[in-house]
Amino acid sequence: MTKTTTSFYQSVQNYFDEAAIHTGLPEGLLGQIKICNAVYQMRFPVKIGNGVQVIEAYRVQHSHHRTPTKGGIRYSNHVNQEEVMALATLMTYKCAIVDVPFGGAKGGVKINPWEFTPGQLERITRRYTTELIRRNFIGPSIDVPAPDYGTGSREMAWIYDTYRTFHGDDIDAAGCVTGKPVSQNGIRGREEATGRGVFYGIREACSYKDDMKALGLKVGTEGKTMVVQGLGNVGAHTAKISQDEGGIVIVGISEVEGAIYKKSGIDIHDLIKFRKETGSILNYPGAESYDKKDRKSVMEFECDILVPAALENQITAENVKKVKAKIIAEAANGPVTSEAATVLQKGGRMVIPDVFLNAGGVTVSYFEWLKNLSHMRFGRMEKRFNQKQYDQVVGVVEKLTGKKVDKRDRQLIVRGADEVDLVRSGLEETMINSYNEIREVMKRKKKIKSLRNAAFVVAINKISSDYMALGIFP
C-alpha cells in the first residue's frame, strides 16, 4: 500500500501540536490560536479573449489577535482552500516570531499566470481586489496583502490603484498593500527581502561553534557549499547574497526545466545571464545536467546547505533518506513535511524552519507599511545630518593625527544611510534577534529537540500574551 504524503496544512497543524505541549497554556486558548478565524472563498467572472472565465480565489485571515492581518497573494494552478489556510496560519506565527504587529493572512487565485496576457492578469487582479473590498477584506487597518508565488510589484500596483478608486478619501490608502513599486509608495529593498533574510538566518545559525561542531562543519559561512531548489525571486536572491556576502559556494540549482550540479561551484550571476540568453539552466558550461523529470534529484546533491526555495512538500517521507545536506534552510513555505522533519531531526540534521527563515519578506513589508502610514521616506530626515556629523569626526581625527584621509575612504566613512541601508539594517537586526530567541528556548527547554519546535513555542507564547491581555482567557 502506497503511503500518502502528509498535506501541507496537516504538517503545519502537527508542528503546532508538537510545540503546544511545551507551553502549558489552557486548551481553549491553544484552540483559538490554532484555528483560522475567517475564510473567504469566491468565484467571479472575467472576460478572457472572446469568452468569460470563472476564476476561483480565496482570502484567509487566520488570526485577529493583532490587526491588520498580513499575507501575500499567490497565483497558481495548485491553489486550494487548505493550502491558503496553511499559508495564513504560518503567517501568524511568522509575524509573532519576528515581532511585527500583524495577524496572519493569505490569498490565492487559482490560475497559471503564465497562460494569461498582462492585460488579462490586470483584469483578474482588479476584479479579485474588488471582491476583497466588497467584503471588507482589505485595507491599511484591516488586511494588507503582499506578493507571493506568481505575483510581484506589478500586481500590487494594480491592487493599490483599485483600492484608491473605491477609497479616494483614505489618506493612508498606500498602506492597503505592500510590495509595490518604489515609484508608487513602495520601499527599496523589498524585492530582495525574503532572500536576504534567508541569508541572514543561515549566517547566524552557522555562527555557533558548538552547533556547527555537532554537524561536522566549521563555524561561519565562508567556503560552505549550497544547493538551491528554485531560482525564482527568493532562490535567486538567496544564492546571490550567499555567494557575494557570505563566501558560500553554490554547487547546485534546480528550476522548472531541470537541475544542474557543479562541484567546483557555479557563478550565480553568470548562470542567471546564461538562462536569460538560452531560456534554460540546462547545459550550463562545466555542470552536470538533469532534465525535467529528474529535477527533484536536486534534493540528493552533495552539499552542506540545501535551500528549498520553491513550493511546499518537496522533502517527504519518500525522499528524505536521500537528502545529504547537513543544514536544510527552508526558504519556501512548508518544503519539508512533518514526517520528513522528524527523520531529519533524528538523523542529527539542522532544519532552519520556514516560520522563521523566510520572514524577511513580511519584516520589510512591515517597514513599507510604516513608511506609508508616516508618509515619509526612511532616511530623509537624518541622512544629511549624520553625514555632516561623520565628516566633522573625520576632520577631528585628521587634525589630531596630522594625517589626511583619502578622498575615496572619506566618502565611504561619512556617507549617510539611504533607505535601502536602513531597511537592510532593520532586517538584519530582526533576523539575528529572532534566531537567538529561538535558539535560547531550544537550549533552555531540554525536551525541545528542534529549532522548529522552539520557533513554534516562541510564536504561541507571544500570541497567547495578546489574547490574555484582552481578558478573554485567564
Catalytic residue positions? Answer: 106
Cell matching residue 363? 519584516
Cell matching residue 127? 476584479
Cell matching residue 196? 536576504
> What is the Cα–Cα distance from 239 to 452, expressed in whole angstroms?
23
Decide: 93 and 455 in contact? Cβ < 8 Å. yes
Helix or strand run (H / E) with residue 345: helix 338-346
Q: Which residue has the cell 483600492?
A: 163
Q: Which residue has the cell 553554490?
A: 250
| DSSP symbols for 231-250 | -SHHHHHHHHHHHHHH--EE
Decide: 104 and 70 in contact? Cβ < 8 Å. yes
If you ran DSSP here, which 8-state letter would residue 51 be given? E
Residue type, 431: M
R_g (Cα) of the chain, nearest Å: 23
- Name residue 139's beta-bridge partners: 143
If you ran DSSP here, which 8-state letter would residue 142 be given? T
Residue type, 433: N
Decide: 101 and 66 in contact? Cβ < 8 Å. yes
Q: From residue 148, how far is each of 24, 53, 152, 426 by CA, in Å?
A: 35, 23, 7, 22
> What is the Cα–Cα distance from 262 to 253, expressed in whole angstroms?
9
**Nearest residue to 71 (alpha-carbon basis) of 24, 46, 36:** 36
Contacts of 149 (CB under 8 A, 6+ apart): 72, 74, 75, 76, 232, 311
Question: Helices H, strands E: what count in the chain?
Answer: 16, 12
Alpha carbon 68 to its chain centroid, in Å, reads 19
